Amino acid sequence: MTLTARNIGFCYGSKPVLTDISFALDSGCFHALLGPNGAGKSTLFGLLTRLLALQQGGILFAGQSLKKHPAEAMRQIGVVFQQNALDLDLTVRQNLMYHSALHGLSRKQARLRGDHELERFGLLDRASDPVRTLNGGHRRRVEIARALLHQPTLLLLDEPTAGLDIASRKALNDHVRQLCADDNLTVLWATHLIEEVAAQDRVLILHQGRLLADGPVQELCSRSGTTTLAETFELLTGVGS
């Protein structure tokens, strides 16, 4: 087990946005956090990454409180936020080198780690190109490569396919699944798109700040007497997929 959330609650001012959220991620598994716009996915990511201060409940990483041991936990976590956060005027490699430096890697290590990740993403030949010249799908790949430089065991991705076309969305989703399998990486992938969830995934359904279901796709379908995740989702949330 890697990350455990216990009874998380969060309000913006007086507006409750997350209520009593509890779940545990399984090591080496791909988890889809599925919820419509405004469900609270980004807020939950903000809490898991300590961008937002926890108001209620607790978050444990490898059994230790994220609040009490933030540095140890953050060393194990890689994050890809919803908004693109690369410097468009720097080259792909410069972006990676800068991020590696923030993690305390030497220049040599940074170059090796960066090139290794770029190779896995099929982007080594673009290393010297400014990020601005890359298409949206390739920019997202660079962001994921960057999130993996310090070799985290948990990768959090907040709607990483936002703004991409269907083919690029599928390629990115397939790629992260491959990483998950190759590196025994634990993945939490937030999305509002049911087609990004695969039959073998564990899915957490978030709606209006509440976790309505959590489990393997098959299990959720049989629990709700449906045959597809889309039907289960609609039944639970009242929102058509």
- Residues of this chain that interact with ligand ATP (CB under 6 A) are 12, 17, 35, 37-43, 159, 192
DSSP-assigned beta bridge partners for residue 33: 190, 204
Type of residue numbered 114: G
| Alpha carbon distances (Å) from 19 to 39, 122, 124, 177 | 11, 41, 44, 30
Give me the least distance between CB of 217 and ligand ATP, in Å please.
20
Please answer whether residues 186 and 28 qualify as being in contact, where contact means their C-beta atoms are separated by less than 8 angstroms.
yes
> Which residue, 93 or 140, is less far from ligand ATP as judged by CB?
140
> Which residue, 42 or 100, is less far from ligand ATP as judged by CB?
42
> Which residue, 18 or 149, is less far from ligand ATP as judged by CB?
18
Give me the least distance between CB of 192 and ligand ATP, in Å please.
6
Instruction: Give dist(CA 123, CA 134) in Å, integer.
Output: 10
Structure tokens, 179: 């990483």
Give me the least distance between CB of 139 and ligand ATP, in Å please.
19
Instruction: Give dist(CA 69, CA 67) in Å, integer.
Output: 6
Give me the least distance between CB of 82 and ligand ATP, in Å please.
6
Give me the least distance between CB of 144 and ligand ATP, in Å please.
19
> Which residue, 41 or 93, is less far from ligand ATP as judged by CB?
41
Residue with tokens 């993690």: 103
Instruction: Give dist(CA 146, CA 138) in Å, integer.
Output: 12
> Which residue, 35 or 160, is less far from ligand ATP as judged by CB?
35
- Find all residues with CB under 8 Å of 133, minimum gap 6, and list them: none
